Structure formats: structure tokens, C-alpha cells
Amino acid sequence: MESIHPKQRRLRKWPIMLIAAIGLIFFLLIMADNLFFYQANAAPNPKQTQVEVPVLAYHSVSTKATNEYVVTPEQFRKQMSTLHDLGYTSINMQQFDALMKGKIKNTGKFVLITFDDGYADNYKQAFPIMQQYGFTATMFVITNWVGSDSYATWSELSELQKAGWDIMSHTRTHPDLSLMSSKDQTDEIAGSKQAIESHMHEKVNAMAYPYGLRSKDTVEIAKKCGYEYAFTFEDGWTSSVQNPLLLKRIIVSGTEDLPTFRQKLQNRY
């Protein structure tokens, strides 16, 4: 048998080692390319992409404090002045939608001002004050109560709309939806939407749950009726990572002082 010198044996191994090294390099290049593709196409991190915006929830603006959610005209004026001094710009529902979907850049100085119920004092007291600061609002109205007692008329709501306000739904009769059948809930939720669209001639895509109360069925019904956004009565900043049909709002109370109001705007919660 022919003997092989150790040096020759080592030389014969070089082609094998070279092929193995090339194979390893090729494998690493493929892995690096796959990693880049994964990072480029991975779902965005909610913590990096979420949009947060203060949505203020008002009710009545009056000198008659019938409950804790009534804000006096003086309080309201100071609050609007504070918003203005802090550099806030009010947005409507169309702009809110674009903001939540990342279609417009969040400056950190947008605010959505909302009013529940549709009180006449929103038109008589709040509206003139807001005009002075260039602010608009979204009003969630109880359609069966429009024009009755202390509630704004369709004519007044139309004037608000022309001034840049949005008129959205707060159901037909302001019931506790969580206690109602699916049929009755649909009547309240869809009926209110139809009434507003009939009078205002604009699409209604948002609502506020009466008392903030709802069931799982309520949320599904709201979605089926064509609502894209629904607001609760849970206190806190609104965020794009929240269920769009279960959005929080900053609850404004007549019992809170101005420093508390300012703190809610500056400290996200």
C-alpha cells in the first residue's frame, strides 16, 4: 500500500475546508437577508406607533349647577384660555380619524372637544366662548330630545355645523344600553344615526354611550350600524391602541379647579 506523507494529507483537506467555508459564508448571508426582510416587514410595535390625544368630555355649561358635570361659563372660559395658552388646536372627527390612522402627523397639540346630550347652553354659552379662541367641538346629541326643554334645536345644531362643529350620536332616548335587547339597542343606535344624517346631511361615524354603559352586544351593534368610533365615560387620554369603539375621554367636572384641568392635559393617563 502506498504511504501518504502527512503534508500531502493536509494539502488534500484544503479543498474540503474551502468548500465548507464558502458554504458557511453563503448560509450566513442568507440568514442576514432573511433577518433584514423580517425586520422590514414585521408588524409595528404599538408602543412606537400609538397616537395619544386628549378628548375632553363636557356636558352642560351653565350658571345653574344641577350636577357635578355642569361647568360654569367662567370656568369654561378659563379652560379654553388654558388650551389656547398651551398651544392646542381643536380637531373635528374627520381630522381625529386621520390622526388615529396615522395619516396626519401628531404634533402633540391636538385636542378633540366633545359635548354629551346636546344642551342648548352648548350653543348659547360654550359656542361664543370657543369662537373667540378659534375652537370647534363635536356634540353627541340625543335625537328624540332635540328642541325640547333645555336642548338645542335642529336649527341651532345646523348653525353649529356651519361653524365647523360635528353633530354625532348619543342614541335616541339616552337609555342604559347594557340592559336592552339587541333589537332595542339597534333601534336606539341606528335610529339616532339616521335622524342626524337626515337633518344634518352629513355622515355620522361616531357616538358616545349614554352613561358610558354598554354590553358586548352594544359594541358589535354599533359596528354593524356603521360607527367607526364610540366613546365611553372612562377617564383618560384617548389612544390609537384602544378599541376604537371603546375610547376613553378626559372627563371635565365642575368641581375641579383649573390646576387639575391643566394637569390632565400635561400628564397622560
| pLDDT 10s digits, 5-32 | 544 555 455 555 555 555 555 555 444 4
Which cell numbers in the block locate residue 198? 337626515
Give 125's Cβ-side CA count (13 Å radius).
23
What is residue 250's three-state secondary structure?
strand
- Superfamily of domain 52-266, CATH level 4: Glycoside hydrolase/deacetylase (3.20.20.370)
Question: Domain limits of the chain?
Answer: 1-42, 52-266
Question: Which one, of 252, 249, 195, lies nearest residue 225 by Cα?
Answer: 195
For the question of whether the overall pTM of this predicted structure is more than 0.85, the answer is no
Cα of 102 vs its chain's centroid, Å: 12
Ordered mean pLDDT values, 10 residues apiece, the chain (269 residues):
49 52 52 38 49 98 94 98 98 98 95 99 99 99 98 99 99 98 99 99 98 97 99 97 98 97 91
The torsion angles phi and psi of 130, rounded to 5 degrees, stand at -65, -35
Q: Quote the pLDDT of residue 185.
A: 99
What is residue 248's three-state secondary structure?
strand
Residues with Cβ within 8 Å of residue 119, at least 6 apart in sequence: 59, 60, 61, 62, 150, 151, 152
